Amino acid sequence: MKKKVLATLLVGAMVAGMLAGCGGNSGGTTDGGAATEVKYDDLYPHIEGVELKAKDGTAAPDWTEYDALIEDIRMETDTAKREELMHKAEDILMETSAVIPLYYYNDLYMQVKDVDGIYSNLFGFKYFQFAESPRDVLKINLSSEPAKLDPALNSSVDGACMCVNLFAGLYTYNKDGQLEPDLAATTEVSEDGMTYTFTLIDGAKWSDGTDVTMKDFVYSWNRVADPNTGADYGYMFDAIARKDDGTLDIEASEDGKTLTVHLVAPCAYFLDLAAFPAYLPVPQAQVEAASGWETNPGAWCAEAGFVTNGAYTVTDWKHEESMVFKKNDNYHKADQVKVSELDFMLSADDTAIFAAYNAGDLDFADTVPTNEIASLKDNPEFHVIDNLGTYYVAFNVNSPIFKDKTMEQAIAMRKAFAILIDRDYIVENVGQTDQKVATSFIPEGMADGNGGVFKANDDAYTFPLKDEVGYYPESYQPNAVDYAISLLEEAGYKFTDDGMLSDETPISLTYLTNDGSGHIAVAEVMQQDLAEIGIDLKIDTREWNVFLDERKAGNFDFAREGWLADFNDPINMLEMWTTDSGNNDCQFGR
């Protein structure tokens, strides 16, 4: 089935003429067109001195250099040198071809006209606590059952959205997307940038009426940083120095009013970290009162009724169906909370969600079926906002599909896949909201930590743009398919005279994705792109929480991925790939 036919099925509500110019393949030689030679060096025009080594003679790269490089970046105080090291780290990551960026995120949602005051930041966190509505209940869909509501353990955007409405930290984001103090009354930074001292506001309380103190932050931050907790985001505390006993070099005053934090190096984004969900406090007494808390650290908040210190508490939780948040009268900004109840529909079925929205059963829906997007673009209730992140697909470098291959052959295989994927088609016919085609993992617009933009061309660094070759030849280049075939031949695969994989050397692999029409549509486009030369891609669709667990465990060949930045610095997009990171789905170094 050609892609034009697939697009008709996906976006049947579109005007038929909108599809007339869409190509039906991933870029074979056009009639009468001269093939333009694409060389390997063109794919990585700016990489110098990046040479991957195999791990123990296997197909997986040795990740020792990358891990060391990230540590150097964390310690580097010269911002220009730090930027240079971050470019090198991204080059190493992209050289593996295990991470294949498709497009840079934006965010779409539906919101009824008579509700106001809901806002989001560039990192995808949505704040409902200051919403205004003629009704006292706000009906919301974010996603299906949240994987984790413990701020220490959550690693999904929908879970983060819930956490920032349930818990209050030292800092937060306002309606303009700007960082501002929350529980921090004052913040002092030492002249060398190595020490932060926070003073707590008066009257901060947990929802059970007990006092919030800076000792809660000492406990909570050490809990996330402790490897025994198994937090995916434990590495986000590496900016903080360690004591001899391995705990974080932080202290609360005896009266619990101040918190002193010692860093390993000046960190321009430390206050952004202080606003991130993993830095939110949790109540030690309740955490450790839960049965089996030492081996199941999230048990304390797996059901309704747990203690929070934010705008809401969870009063009812019907798993896989619904959640109810009720206003927390002990919240320090309770007088600003106008809507006393948030009712969450827990579903990832965007058709059912859209039907519920149209029936008046939802005020806010964080997803829209792919085939409805075109007809909604002029609807004032349909919103598209900026995000800072990348939608991508990724390989497990230890997948059996690379068995008996050298590292170089495995990279050639993955690069061939990347070349065959038609990003332009995905953006135009699946995304449909003017996403930008991705040429590398770090998104456009991200700061460089040196007073500029990471992907802006300057005297020190020339970055590939979409209209150039970039990391991968774009689909409109005439010989992209031929080049992909040549790479697979380097990896030992044979082809027939008509450019199809020989039966002697088949390629079959499985693509893991969660449900949702957009994700499945991307999978089906890639399935067709790869089938053009005979690669068999099977699509394995899983329920959200199962999908997350399988991906994290490395139980996949090829998987749907997405990363919204946690703060505006490239290190966030790079440190997630260290060997010990809980977000290292590619299994680098393992």
Collapsing DSSP states into helix, strand and coil, what is residue 454?
coil
| Amino acid 254: pLDDT | 97
Confidence (pTM)? 0.83
pLDDT, tens digit (0-9, with 9 covering 90-100), for 290-345 = 999 999 999 999 999 999 999 999 999 999 999 999 999 999 999 999 999 999 99
Mean pLDDT over the full length of the chain: 88
468 pLDDT band, cuts 50/70/90, is: very low
Using alpha carbons, select from 96, 119, 114 the residue that is nearest to residue 44: 96
User: Where among 290, 311, 332 does a domain terminate?
Assistant: 311
Task: Evaluate whether residue 72 is within a structural domain.
Answer: yes
Domain with 236 in it: 141-311
**What single-letter amino acid sits at 565?**
A
Task: Evaluate whether residue 101 is within a structural domain.
Answer: yes
Q: Is the same domain home to 160 and 296?
A: yes
Using alpha carbons, select from 46, 121, 116 the residue that is nearest to residue 568: 121
User: Where among 281, 311, 341 does a domain terminate?
Assistant: 311
**What single-letter amino acid sits at 363?**
D
| Amino acid 23: pLDDT | 31
Q: What angle do CA 112, 338, 126 make, to 5 degrees?
A: 55
461 φ/ψ angles, rounded to the nearest 5 degrees: -155, 130
The answer, yes or no, to whether residue 46 has pLDDT greater than 80, is no
Q: Is the same domain home to 84 and 170?
A: no
CATH number at residue 243: 3.90.76.10
pLDDT, tens digit (0-9, with 9 covering 90-100), for 201-249 = 999 999 999 999 999 999 999 999 999 999 999 999 999 999 999 999 9
Collapsing DSSP states into helix, strand and coil, what is residue 558?
strand
Using alpha carbons, select from 495, 375, 545, 441 the residue that is nearest to residue 96: 441
441 pLDDT band, cuts 50/70/90, is: very high
Q: Is the same domain home to 150 and 280?
A: yes
pLDDT (average), residues 13-39:
30
342 CB-near residues (< 8 Å, 6+ apart): 128, 137, 138, 140, 165, 312, 324, 325
The answer, yes or no, to whether residue 39 has pLDDT greater than 50, is no
| Amino acid 517: pLDDT | 85
Q: Is the same domain home to 439 and 526?
A: yes
Q: Is the same domain home to 420 and 298?
A: no
Strands 364-365 and 137-141: parallel
Q: Is the same domain home to 175 and 247?
A: yes
360 CB-near residues (< 8 Å, 6+ apart): none
Task: Evaluate whether residue 567 is within a structural domain.
Answer: yes
Q: Is the same domain home to 445 and 536?
A: yes
Least-confidence region, from 24-33, 177-186, 357-366, 533-542: 24-33
Task: Evaluate whether residue 7 is within a structural domain.
Answer: no
Q: Is the same domain home to 438 and 520?
A: yes
For the four alpha carbons of 402, 509, 438 and 364, in that order, the dihedral sign comes to negative
466 pLDDT band, cuts 50/70/90, is: very low
Rounded CA gap, 432 and 560, in Å?
Answer: 18
CATH number at residue 569: 3.10.105.10
For the chain, the domain total comes to 2
Q: Is the same domain home to 414 and 491?
A: yes
Task: Evaluate whether residue 571 is within a structural domain.
Answer: yes
| Amino acid 461: pLDDT | 65
57 pLDDT band, cuts 50/70/90, is: confident
pLDDT, tens digit (0-9, with 9 covering 90-100), for 479-493 = 788 889 999 999 999
Q: Dump strand ranges (E) for 174-219.
A: 179-181, 184-189, 195-200
Q: Is the same domain home to 422 and 564?
A: yes
Task: Evaluate whether residue 183 is within a structural domain.
Answer: yes
| Amino acid 3: pLDDT | 41
User: Where among 311, 340, 355 does a domain terminate?
Assistant: 311
| Amino acid 462: pLDDT | 60
Task: Evaluate whether residue 125 is within a structural domain.
Answer: no
Q: Is the same domain home to 97 and 149?
A: no
Element housing 509 (H / E): strand 508-514
48 pLDDT band, cuts 50/70/90, is: low
Task: Evaluate whether residue 497 is within a structural domain.
Answer: yes
Q: Is the same domain home to 261 and 391?
A: no
Q: How far is CA 435 from CA 32, 384, 573, in A?
A: 31, 10, 19
Longest pairwise C-alpha distance within the chain:
80
